[in-house]
Structure 1
Amino acid sequence: MKFAMKPLMVAAAFVAAGSTHATSITLPANGTAVAAGYTLSELSGTDTLTFSSALIGALNAGKVQIAGVDPATTAVTYKTNAATKVVSISTASAAAPVTSLTADVVGTGLAVTGAGTVGGSLQSATSANIATTGGSLKIVNLSVDLLAKKVYADLIGGNGVGTHNNVWLWDITTITGPTTLDLSLVPAGGGVVSITNTRSGLTINQAAFDLFATSMGLTANGITSLKTVTDFGTIVSTISVKAAPAVPE
């Protein structure tokens, strides 16, 4: 006996199956993509990592210095102990340009699922002390997976560590603020849409911790100090995209 599905039933089945899968796009900084009837271009933005006070305390224990890795920039302020005259880091942040974006197209919204940046920061300990025997670590080219709430990075370490690409660096505890670019807000002639959100409560992955410790030449005291850091900081992300009505082919 033969069975046949009616054409309408077949079409409905395909629609139902396809409705659970959003279309995904990737937009590089100097490229274009088409989504929801718009041509997207001119991706820009910045991810700014602000070091937590606990992390700064651990870095100060090893007299670690912080510098930017181009094209990222760092902002570091210092304080001086009135009694000992010792200068230490008070606040530190690193701002890196956003160079890629991935998103799911949901209606007229771009639900951002990930973003990549270029550049980063260099942490260096140039002399031995109670916390380190000396070393360095570049943390560059961060990539954020908003769905999995993870941050990946390329780590370039001293003390024979070398380069490790796309290392699972941190887990994100909380994401606050919008993560969807609303294309319905774009004027008829085209315009720019932007979002800003904050990823906070960055906790380090054990494999990344081990690379950090070896690269920086941490002593037992230095490792103990770093283990007390349960929150490495926050990342404030600002992303803008130009959207123009797509021209039919």
Structure 2
Amino acid sequence: MIVIEREVIDLQTVKRLLVMSDIHGQIDAFNALLDKVKYKMEEDLLFLLGDYVDRGQNPRSCIQKARELEAQGAIPLKGNHEDMMEKALAGENLQALSHWASNGGTQTLASYGLLFEDIYHSIRDGSLSLPDQLLDDLQWIQKLNVYAETEHYFFVHAGVDPQKAINETDDQTFLWIRSPFFDGYHGDKTVIFGHTPTMNLHDTNDVYFGTNNIIGIDGGCVFGGQLNCLELPSKVIYSV
């Protein structure tokens, strides 16, 4: 069985678990990797570990693809870039908007036909009005779960706090943590995560297999690296 926070899904008919993360608007790589792994919704359970938006050429299309895959049974989780987007737009907060924009949010706005300056001024003036598609996608983002787990694996965008129980951990930790998790985790379940490019973990864009039961899969595609897919339980890797 798989637990998505408080939901439970039967795994009896699943042949493969597939995991991808940090697509960042790279819709062509996203589609190419799905083709390469020969994804079949009837046999595979696909986990997407967040960061569909920002920096790349078409964040809007990546959200739409993630939503289509979710309708077919995939499990999309929230990343820290969706968190920044939510705080900026749903929160109508200028400081959050500037922070998001400096981390690739301007590309996401552009994919919806919007300019950062116009959004900034409308929030400042209390007159923010967003296109229907963006509003709908924003509502979808707000409902995303921050983790999922099976008997053997824990799926999350950034990692876990090795000093706290899952039910005592706040969402921001699951979305943003780095070093304390890399160095301190020694749990029984294997944690599969994105967020930190693997180049920063072992000097290559390939999937990182930590000695302390953690697996990092962010190949830094948007920075000129690669988009990785981890197959479980075989640990076969696919990349584009």
TM interval, shorter chain, is under 0.3
TM-score w.r.t. the length of structure 2 is 0.23
TM-score w.r.t. the length of structure 1 is 0.22
More strand by share: 1
More helix by share: 2
Tell me which structure has the larger Cα radius of gyration: 1
